[in-house]
Structure 1
Amino acid sequence: MSNRPRVQKSRHGSRPSGSGSGAGSNPLLKAMIIGVVVLVAVAVGVAFLAGRDAEQREQSDVPQVSDVSIEGAHLPLFEGEEPDPAMEMQAPAFAATAFDGTEVSVLPGDGTAKVIGFFAHWCPHCQRELPRIVDWMANNQLPAGVEVIAVSTSVEAGRPNYPPSAWFEDEQWPAVVVRDSAENEIANTYGLRGFPYTVGIDADGRVVARVAGELNDDAWEFLVDFVASPAG
Structure 2
Amino acid sequence: MEKKKNPVQYLVIALLVIAVAWVGYTAYDNNQTKKAQQEAQEKAQQERVNKQQEQTTTADETTAQQPDVVYAPDFEAANLGGQKETLSSYQGKKVVLNFWASWCLPCKAEMPHMVDFQNQHAADLNTEIVAVNLTQQEKSGIGGIKKFVDEYGLNFPVLLDETGAIATQYGIITIPTTFILNEDGAIERQITGPVTDDLLIKLLGEMDE
CA distance in 2, matches of 1:200, 1:88: 13
Partner of 1:193: 173
1:117 aligns with one of 84, 98, 106? 98
1:208 to 183, 188, 199: 188
- Give the TM-score normalised by structure 1: 0.54
**1:1-232 alignment to 2 at 5 Å?**
88-107=69-88, 110-153=91-134, 155-158=136-139, 163-182=144-163, 184-227=164-207, 229=208
Over the aligned positions, Cα root-mean-square deviation in angstroms equals 2.7
Q: Which consecutive aligned stretches of 4+ in structure 1 deviate over 6 angstroms post-superposition?
A: none
Kindly indicate whether the alpha-carbon contact (under 8 Å) linking 2:135 and 2:160 is maintained by their aligned counterparts in 1. Answer: no
Q: 1:138 is paired with a residue of what secondary structure?
A: helix
Provide closer, same or farther for how the CA distance between residues 169 and 159 of structure 1 changes in structure 2, counting only shifts above 3 A.
Answer: closer
Which one-letter code corresponds to 2:187 in the other structure?
V
Q: Is there any run of 5+ residues in structure 2 with no aligned partner, and where?
A: 1-66
| Percent identical | 23
Counterpart for residue 37 of structure 1? none
Normalising by structure 2, we get a TM-score of: 0.60
Q: Does the CA-based 8 Å contact 1:109-1:204 persist in structure 2? A: no
Answer whether contact 2:121 2:201 (CA < 8 A) is retained: no
Letter paired with 1:178: L
Q: Which residue of 1 aligns with 2:6?
A: none
Pick the structure with more helix per residue.
2
Q: C-alpha separation between the residues in 2 aligned to 1:144 and 1:215?
A: 17
Residues in 2 aligned to 1:134 and 1:104: alpha-carbon distance in whole angstroms: 21
Structure 1 contact 108–205 (Cα < 8 Å) conserved: no
Q: Which runs of 5+ in 1 are unaligned?
A: 1-85
Shift of 1:133: 1.4
Q: Distance in 2 between matches of 1:109 and 1:127?
A: 25
